A and B are shown apart, each in its own frame.
Chain A
Amino acid sequence: MLIPQTEAELAAIVAEAEGPFHVQGGGTRPIGGPVAGMPLSTSGLSGIALYEPGALTLVAGAGTPLAEIEQVLAAEGQRLAFEPMDHRGLLGTEGVPTIGGVFAANVSGPRRIQAGAARDFLLGVRFVDGRGQVVRNGGRVMKNVTGYDLVKLMAGSYGTLGVLTEVALKVLPDTATAATLTLTGLDDGTAIRVMARALGSPFEVTGVAHRPDGPEGVPLTLLRLEGTERSVAYRAAEMARLLAAFGEVQIDHDTARTRQTWQGIRDVKPFHGVSGDVWRLSVKPSDAAGVVAGISSARALYDWAGGLIWVLVPEGTAAGDVRAALSGVGGHATLIRGGERDAAFHPLDPTIEALQCGLRQRFDPRGLFNFGLMGVAA
């Protein structure tokens, strides 16, 4: 395993490379692949270079442990609003998740529907391209339209375009209190309507999820409210009134328990240690229940009001059988655990794929980085 300690060292390694690399952060999110090549970790490029709480910005080496960043932010009453998932429990991996890995896979949690995705909080990047050149894009300010937005391009490109060395991100204030509202016994279709109603209200819901098989087999529809104590109390009452027609709304004002509940949803806890392949589907929320009904023997966990569906299917289920459920409705499906790993990423329209290949060839002409990931045949 190569673990360069500086950006310059990394650039030299890439410039002189004769074979491909398997680029990774902490290696906790092995999605797709398998990837051939010499393992190359960014974990040596670690450390917070700048943190200005009053400007809501933080700059850190790509290999900085996520936990270190979360700890530093918490000390100032701030947080990563996009709430990145920890994949270790679901995938059974070990290791230290890095901030670079979070952005390389564009990992966002339940708050994505209200606050935005990881890519929305990434302000700037430094990376080493396939020629071994250091490239800078974006910056450390919140509004920046100077030149093309390669920051977005790098987010979610799984290390196939370059090796991230440094990221600048926007952070937000944490909230003092959080509450969970629960409705029980709703079928998937009704739950989707409830969640849409909640999100279409002015009450700023920061989590909207549905578990068709709750702890005792009873469906649970969950809403999260965050803010000051008074504000959360007010909005919880308003929300309960708004949704009264769908059944009794239980309100749990315990902040610690709410955090735990939503961490479980973020990390897809119901599927931890349960055998089967796990898929991640992104769809228009109102299509969600129909899509799940179209996959045989599927267990589902709906997040993002139905826009994100975690699906557990029997081991070895063909990728085509899962993706067939999306035909005619749009969206995409990514295999996260088990199954046909080389079919993990959603097939692209040929014109889009040609553009993607073109970009790949410009950024990494020798095909050094995570060759074969994301279905990009270089």
Chain B
Amino acid sequence: MEMPRPNPDILARKPQLLARLSGVLPSDALISDPAETRAYECDALTAYKCPPLAAVLPSSTQQVSDVLRICHEMGVPVVPRGSGTSLAGGALPTEDSVILGVARLNQVLETDYENRFIRVQSGRTNLSVTGAVEADGFFYAPDPSSQLACAIAGNVAMNSGGAHCLKYGVTTNNLMGVTMVLMDGTVIELGGAHLDAAGYDLLGLVCGSEGQLGVVIEATLRILHKPEGARPVLMGFDSNEVAGQCVSDIIKAGVLPVAIEFMDRPCIRACEAFARAGYPDCEALLIVEVEGSDAEIDEQLETIMEIAHSHNPVELRQSTSAEESARIWLGRKSAFGAMGQINDYMCLDGTIPVTELPYVLRRIGEMSGEFGLDVANVFHAGDGNMHPLILFDANKPGDLERCEALGAEILKLCVEVGGCLTGEHGVGIEKRDLMTDQYAPEDLEIQMAVKDVFDPKWLLNPAKVFPLAASEAHRIAAE
């Protein structure tokens, strides 16, 4: 993975930079000892590592603003970091950059049930946002798999999704406002407790901009009252085509499940061996969950079961208790752990039109054979967001490269059938060089022009999202 060569001039000015930063930060918020900066050398994409020049952990808006102003004045790149759970390398530093971690900004600032929002500092973890309101019957809907650890800052940066977005949408649909610090230290407010923007929808533009437009330090999030109940049904089919058709038929029938999860045979087997959830040994498995009162759930499941029956399932199991529900979800929720037991794996994140599911799964199977690497598929079928897991051996020379090459081919396939490279993980460095497969040069050019406006010196997370060759002119012009 190519990264821009570190600027020797910046490396040489490290003492001056540290001196200025220590003037605006408490001593425990500035980390520059190489033994300690190593903790920030990578995120959850661990294949690529590089310790930063320094890491800062500000605990106030003023400190964030001061740090950015100083880095701006000294021309030092800044890589914002939430909890470091990015699978795309979104928080990977360069040797000449400062990591700005928001972990200490983790307070709840305001909870307003009457107007149904919560305002938090962005270092707060996703799950603890719900944690702050669930005793009162409320929750925050986006639920990425890493929700125990991941920060709202990263959720906003990547526009994170989760298993329940079919009904509740992704981060951008649940984000009402942010406080953000621009690279020159200016603090701005976008949105708030009211709906929609005055002027352009800059909030929508910032969400998913991968920390390249500003550092989000506070977020106003929509909270919802929890549904009265939820219940899943598990279905097994002997072909991916039939399972795919079943998904499409459920959606067409006018039922809107809160989640439709899909697992293929390699994934089912691994999960079953790991979690013993009692899954059938079949080609494709669906978990469909609906919400509401008991009677409403019964009514929706009646329709869903009828559709499932018409597709001759090899297994059809409706949960009748909380224990059974937990058991149905058990295998799915341990999918990533189960894969990790077998081997190293790389988790992809392409999205495809739901109608292309059978074709794409068949092609992935063929490609898996060509590359000699196993691929297991587990994904959010209702919205077409696929997570092929490519198994490889990190200790075997050449395996990682082969895995990456297969990953790139699968993502190109997603684009080819009308989908996209990433549904919820972000581009980061991982999919940076594939951007030209999805977008024409002018499509990328106008996106980079947006960065020119927010960060004219291209100092915020500059080596991400856009292929380096494409962004080079912007980065050089900014110097």
Binding site for B on A (CB under 8 A): 52-57, 76-77, 106, 108, 112-113, 116-117, 119-120, 129, 133-137, 139-153, 155-157, 161, 172-176, 193, 196, 199-202, 227-228, 230-231, 234-235, 238, 282-286, 304, 307-308, 330-332, 334, 345-346, 348-349, 351-353, 355-356, 358-359, 362-363, 374-375
Contacts and interface: CB of A to CB of B under 8 A. Distances in A.
B195 A146 contact: no
B188 A106 contact: no
Interface of B: 112-116, 137-138, 158-159, 161, 165-166, 169-170, 172-173, 182, 186, 188-190, 192-205, 207-209, 225-228, 247-249, 251-256, 292-293, 295-296, 299, 351-355, 380, 383-385, 418-427, 431, 435, 438-440, 442-444, 446-447, 449-450, 452-454, 465
Contacts of A155: 201, 204
Contact of B440 (A136, A202, A238, A358): A136
B251 A55 contact: yes
Nearest to B166: A142
Contacts of B439: 136, 146-147
30 contacts: A54-B252, A55-B354, A119-B201, A135-B442, A135-B443, A139-B351, A141-B418, A143-B383, A145-B208, A146-B427, A146-B431, A148-B450, A149-B208, A149-B209, A150-B205, A150-B450, A153-B450, A155-B204, A157-B200, A196-B115, A200-B114, A227-B296, A230-B295, A230-B299, A304-B195, A351-B188, A355-B453, A356-B199, A358-B453, A363-B449
A274 to B, nearest CB: 25
Contacts, number: 257
Contacts of B225: 200-202
Query: Which of the listed residues A142, A149, A202, A234 has the most CB atoms from chain B within 10 Å of its own CB?
Result: A142
Question: Which 10 pairs across A and B sit closest by C-beta, in order of nearness?
Answer: A152-B204, A54-B248, A332-B198, A143-B423, A358-B453, A173-B254, A346-B198, A284-B193, A362-B449, A142-B383
Contacts of B384: 55, 141-143
Given A55-B354, A141-B420, A145-B422, A136 B199 contact: no
Contact of A173 (B205, B208, B255): B255
B355 A54 contact: yes
Query: Which of the listed residues B351, B420, B439 has the most CB atoms from chain A within 10 Å of its own CB?
Result: B420
Contacts of A363: 446, 449
Nearest to B466: A147
Nearest to A140: B418
A349 B188 contact: yes
A146 B196 contact: no
A332 to B, nearest CB: 3
Nearest to B171: A145
A52 B355 contact: yes
Nearest to A76: B252
A245 to B, nearest CB: 16
Contact of A141 (B159, B172, B353): B353
B194 A332 contact: yes
Contacts of A161: 200
A77 B195 CA distance: 29
B187 to A, nearest CB: 9
Contacts of A142: 165-166, 351, 383-385
B359 to A, nearest CB: 13
Contacts of A362: 446, 449-450, 452-453
B200 A356 contact: yes
